[in-house]
Amino acid sequence: MYTTPCAFVTGASRGIGRAIAIGLAREGFNIVGNATGYDVNDRSRGLAETQERIEELGVAFLPAAGDIADLRTHQGLLEKTCDRFGHVDVLVNNAGVGPRQRLDFLDVTPESFDHVLGVNLRGTFFLTQRFARHMVERKAREPAERPKIVFITSISADTSSPTRSEYCLSKAGLSQLARVCADRLAGHGINVYEVRPGIIVTDMTAPVKEKYDALIAGGAVPQGRWGKPEDVARVVTALARGDFDYSTGGVFEVSGGMNIRSL
Ligand code: NAI
């Protein structure tokens, strides 16, 4: 019998995903951390560092490297998790990529489109489908459980960036996927949430730091600062803990007020 809840976090080797994994570990979850195996742009020690920091908190960590865009890996990721922890209580779909090169909409290539959509949308869609089936089966056996799925989208779900159109499209699609999943799974007692970060300090935004510094100084973020990965992690932790159990399908903005339209 497994008594400690288990969270599966994609993209847990750094940035927002690592902060979410640590936040959930503090809450008492055992963690399965997925990420791509080796990333030349990764300035941290990847999943190994996440593992070290989580084990210090007294819970277990299982590294599960794998490319979520490769649908053939999904069953193995689930089996590995169930072999170690029995089941998945919370799936956090955090892994995501921006375009390798920011190009104007008029110049976007099919390769970039396929890469970004392949990870952010297609990969996440089918990974979620696989894990949701597992959650539905488990709920039928153990009705008292309250499994949850969280999608990390972006303000790009409804904010236009013409030099990242394929990214915006992937996040808009992911936002709708969260809504559809919430609708489909509500009757099974599985809650689904969308968390929509704004401008967060991570390796992903490092190449555009100066541009965003200037935008923030110019007032683009009402609260006047960069977001931190921990700002996102705190929201995910509250959702995973069950603080919002009579709520599903909602969007939680973590953007310092960028959601506000102002004249
Ligand atoms: P990051 O680039 O620092 O980390 C991305 C993580 O995803 C890494 O662990 C990487 O290994 C993993 N990953 C990438 N491709 C993968 C694949 N095919 N399969 C498995 N894992 C893969 O990114 P960051 O900034 O931490 O972003 C995390 C999520 O939050 C992404 O979905 C991103 O789109 C989203 N986001 C980030 C914002 C920001 O300002 N940093 C703002 C809004 C959303």
pLDDT, tens only, 57-102:
999 999 999 999 999 999 999 999 999 999 999 999 999 999 999 9
Distance between Cα 172 and ligand 1 center (Å): 16
Residue 144 falls inside a structural domain: yes
The best mutation among 31, 32, 36 to test binding of ligand 1, ranked by most ligand atoms within 8 Å of the C-beta, falls on: 36
Residue 79 falls inside a structural domain: yes
The ligand 1 site (C-beta within 6 Å) comprises: 10-17, 34-36, 39, 67-69, 94-97, 119, 152, 154, 197, 199-200, 202-205
Q: What is the pLDDT of residue 38?
A: 58
Q: What is the pLDDT of residue 39?
A: 57
255 flagged as catalytic: no
Distance between Cα 110 and ligand 1 center (Å): 21
Q: What is the pLDDT of residue 112?
A: 98
Among candidate residues 80, 139, 148, 171, the one labeled active-site is 171
Residue 224 falls inside a structural domain: yes
* Angle, helix 110-117 to helix 165-186, in steps of 10 degrees: 30
* DSSP 8-state class, residue 9: E
Provide the residue range defining the domain that includes 57: 6-254
Quote the distance between the C-alpha of residue 170 and its chain's center. 13
The enclosing domain of 126 has a CATH number of 3.40.50.720
Residue 262 falls inside a structural domain: no
Residue 259 falls inside a structural domain: no
pLDDT at 153 exceeding the cut of 70: yes
Q: What is the pLDDT of residue 3?
A: 86
- 62: phi then psi, degrees, rounded to nearest 5: -120, 115
| pTM score of the predicted model | 0.97
Residue 20 falls inside a structural domain: yes
Determine how many CB atoms are found less than 10 A away from the CB of residue 39. 13
Average pLDDT value for the chain: 96
Residue 103 falls inside a structural domain: yes
- 32: phi then psi, degrees, rounded to nearest 5: -110, 120
Q: What is the mean pLDDT of residues 185-193?
A: 98
With contact defined as beta carbons under 8 Å apart, do 193 and 248 qualify? yes
The residue whose two tokens read 């869609």 is 125
Among candidate residues 156, 167, 175, 193, the one labeled active-site is 167
Residue 1 falls inside a structural domain: no
Number of domains in the chain: 1
